[in-house]
Amino acid sequence: MLTIAVDAMGGDHAPKSEVEGAVKAATFIDTTTKDPNPPGGFFFGNGQTNKSTEHNIDCYALFSVLARLTGNARYRVPVYACTSRASLDEIEREGLREPLEVAGLTIIVDTCVVVAPMLPAEAGVLMTNSGKFAFYAPANTGFATVYGSLADCVASAVAGKVTRDESAWT
């Protein structure tokens, strides 16, 4: 699943301690849940036998739309996209990663901002196009959420404030 989270509080980089925490969490996930056998993927938990690989195509499609919606714009607030390593490989092959990172996107690989401590310590507002993220983020991050389409999330990131096309919700 791809989650776009727009941090409406601003700020350019996570504090070093949060980045180190995210690296520790990612290392744990990589060393305890990664399946080395094709087609890859990650088990849902240490010792679990079920895993997720089906989201890779959806993630690539969403990154393609994200790139189209962003165009040459630059984000005025931090934007995070969480995806798998396999999806990131495809995104890089298609040349989508660099222009999105130039726009201000931070790509989070093999984990999520909800479960890995990488957001600023101050609570704020996150905008997302994921109902699952909107549900879990407040309790797990301390941030309030605003739900919108992917186009709303991009428009908000470029504007630096929440911007929604309300006609999509009526």
What whole-number distance in Å separates Cα of residue 96 and Cα of residue 88?
9
Tens-digit pLDDT profile for residues 42-98: 665 555 565 554 444 456 667 788 888 888 999 999 888 888 787 888 889 889 999
Q: Is there a contact between 124 and 160 (Cβ–Cβ < 8 Å)?
A: no
Q: Are 63 and 101 in contact (CB under 8 A)?
A: no
Domain count, the chain: 1
Q: What is the pLDDT of residues 12-48, one digit of tens each?
A: 444 555 545 555 655 666 666 666 776 666 665 555 5
Distance separating alpha carbons of residues 90 and 61, to the nearest angstrom: 10
Q: Which domain covers residue 28, as residue numbers?
A: 3-169
State the Cα–Cα distance between residues 156 and 153, nearest whole angstrom.
5
pTM of the model as a whole: 0.64
Q: What are all long-range contacts of 127-130, with beta carbons under 8 Å and residues at least 24 apart?
A: 127/4, 127/5, 127/6, 127/8, 127/152, 127/153, 127/156, 127/157, 127/162, 128/3, 128/4, 128/5, 128/6, 128/153, 129/3, 129/4, 129/153, 130/1, 130/2, 130/3, 130/4
Domain CATH number, residue 12: 3.30.499
> What is the structure's pLDDT at 38?
63
